[in-house]
């Protein structure tokens, strides 16, 4: 998937993807060498608190368990968008949960979707869970769900990987969006202002847009 591409051998070495490219570019901008530590999401915040890592990117304050003062956050990177995705042959307009009449929507198991909760609780929508956003789209492609909700970049990447003869899934309207940043540890190995300046240069110089363009 576009955010993190792992080696096929061990599966734990990050070798590419949006996150990899951002970290490498920030390190270059700061005149440093990146050392990437791959951690499960639930352990990454603890690693920051323990100063085991200097920086975590593509995170939002709303995703964190603890609150962090403004000085630990960098400038904004870009907005993560969760979008509705419809089958290739979909001919309707905007997807409206209150008009879906019991339709199934592909979602990632254990993920929370506050904007969908009223429709899910009332039965207007039915969850069709999968272990990842890629598998959510695979189910939609095979007709095992009526719709899906996934990150827009993942949907674009998924369509890009389909055979040329295959009809593409349709990206519809945005369900929700969140602004992302990088978050510094309290005692990073480099001066905080140096890291922040490197991230800011990534954004204002066009480097970030060039990275994103490679995965759309």
Is residue 10 predicted with pLDDT exceeding 70?
no
Q: What is the CATH number of the domain that holds 155?
A: 3.40.190.10
**Same-domain check for residues 72 and 86:** no
**Same-domain check for residues 170 and 189:** no
The helix or strand, by DSSP H or E, that contains position 76, with its residue range, turns out to be none
Is residue 100 predicted with pLDDT exceeding 80?
no
Confidence of residue 84 (pLDDT cuts 50, 70, 90): very high
Q: What pLDDT, in 10s, does the model give residues 40-57?
A: 877 888 999 899 999 999
**Same-domain check for residues 31 and 109:** no
* Residue 172 dihedral angles phi and psi, to the nearest 5°: -105, -145
Question: In percent, how much of the chain has pLDDT > 70?
Answer: 99
Residue with the larger pLDDT of the pair 158 and 12 = 158
Is residue 171 predicted with pLDDT exceeding 90?
yes
**Same-domain check for residues 172 and 207:** no
Is residue 129 predicted with pLDDT exceeding 90?
yes
Tell me the average pLDDT across 137-163. Answer: 96
**Same-domain check for residues 95 and 164:** yes
For residue 62, the enclosing domain spans 5-78+180-213
Query: How does the average pLDDT of the chain come out, rounded?
Result: 93
Is residue 12 predicted with pLDDT exceeding 80?
no
Tell me the average pLDDT across 94-104. Answer: 84
Is residue 68 predicted with pLDDT exceeding 90?
yes
**Same-domain check for residues 87 and 152:** yes
The predicted pLDDT at position 13 comes to 85
**Same-domain check for residues 209 and 162:** no
pTM: 0.89
**Same-domain check for residues 113 and 199:** no
The predicted pLDDT at position 101 comes to 80
**Same-domain check for residues 25 and 61:** yes
**Same-domain check for residues 155 and 192:** no
Angle between helices 152-160 and 133-141 (to 10 degrees): 50
Contact 25, 202 (CB under 8 A): yes
The predicted pLDDT at position 113 comes to 93
**Same-domain check for residues 84 and 155:** yes
The predicted pLDDT at position 160 comes to 94
Tell me the average pLDDT across 179-208. Answer: 97
Confidence of residue 156 (pLDDT cuts 50, 70, 90): very high
Distances (CA, A) of 55 to 34, 45, 97, 102, 145: 10, 10, 38, 43, 38
Q: How far apart are CA 196 and CA 192, in angstroms?
A: 6
The predicted pLDDT at position 11 comes to 61
**Same-domain check for residues 204 and 173:** no
59-63, 123-127, 147-151: range with highest mean pLDDT:
147-151
Structural domain total, the chain: 2
């Amino acid at each position: 998937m576009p955010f993190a591409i792992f080696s096929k051998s061990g599966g734990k070495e990050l070798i590419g993807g949006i996150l990899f490219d951002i970290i490498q570019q920030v390190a270059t901008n700061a005149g440093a060498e990146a050392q990437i530590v791959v951690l499960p999401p639930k352990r990454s915040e603890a690693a920051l608190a323990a100063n085991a890592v200097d920086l975590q990117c593509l995170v939002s304050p709303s995703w964190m368990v603890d609150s962090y003062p403004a000085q630990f956050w960098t400038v904004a990177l870009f907005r993560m968008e969760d979008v509705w995705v419809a089958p290739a042959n979909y001919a309707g307009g905007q997807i409206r949960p209150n008009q879906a009449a019991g339709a199934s929507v592909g979602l990632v198991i254990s993920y929370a979707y506050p904007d969908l909760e009223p429709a899910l609780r009332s039965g207007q929508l039915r969850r069709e869970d999968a272990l990842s956003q890629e598998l959510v789209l695979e189910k939609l492609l095979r007709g095992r769900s009526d719709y899906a909700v996934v990150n827009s970049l993942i949907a674009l990447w998924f369509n890009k990987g389909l055979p040329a003869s295959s009809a593409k899934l349709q990206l519809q309207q945005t369900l929700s969006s969140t602004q992302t940043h990088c978050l510094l540890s309290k005692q990073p190995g480099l001066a905080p202002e140096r890291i922040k300046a490197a991230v800011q240069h990534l954004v204002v110089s066009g480097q970030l847009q060039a990275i994103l363009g490679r995965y759309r």
